[in-house]
Amino acid sequence: MNRVQSVINNKFIMIPLVLWFCIQAFKVVYDLITTKKFNFKRILGAGGMPSSHSAVVVSITTLIGRYEGVESPMFALALVLAFVVMYDAAGIRRAAGKQARMLNKLIETPGLTGVEISEKLVEVLGHTPLQVIVGALLGFICGMIF
């Protein structure tokens, strides 16, 4: 029981997890309002505004910087990891989403391909730079407040 309580009381775990959940829940509600359809896949799905990936890694980085110091090796590790995650979200995963969108259009074009697919490729994988920046700002703010 002490270990479970230790995890629950660990702000380095709980703040990023609660932040992630809140952002993903926001995406579900926003999607419900805009499309009038409930899409539970949004709770675990990638992409959209804001970037929960960016928010999580920046909140951890901010917490480590506040409590361990910006000169610590842990802060350096967290900062580099945050940049890798944000680069991946806005660069590589976004490009993969664009490719999926084009492939879906290509396959749906009548008479162009004889390929039959059972499901479409996931198109919402990455983030725009603005989505990454907003997520990072939310992570920084939460890391500073809590």
Per-residue pLDDT of the chain (146 residues; tens, 9 = 90+): 688 899 889 999 999 999 999 999 999 888 888 888 887 777 777 778 899 999 999 999 999 999 999 999 999 999 999 999 998 887 776 666 677 777 767 777 666 556 666 667 665 667 788 999 999 999 999 999 98
pLDDT score for 105? 73
Q: Which residues contact 135 (CB under 8 A, 6 or more apart)?
A: 23, 50, 51, 52, 53, 54, 55, 58, 127
Q: Where are the domains of the chain?
A: 2-94+129-145
What residue type is assigned to position 60 of the chain? I
How would you classify residue 69: left for phi > 0, otherwise alpha for psi between -120 and 50, otherwise beta?
left
pLDDT score for 35? 86
User: Helix and strand tally (H, E) in the chain?
Assistant: 6, 0
pLDDT score for 79? 98
Task: Give this prediction's pTM.
Answer: 0.80
Phi/psi at 118 (5° precision): -90, -20
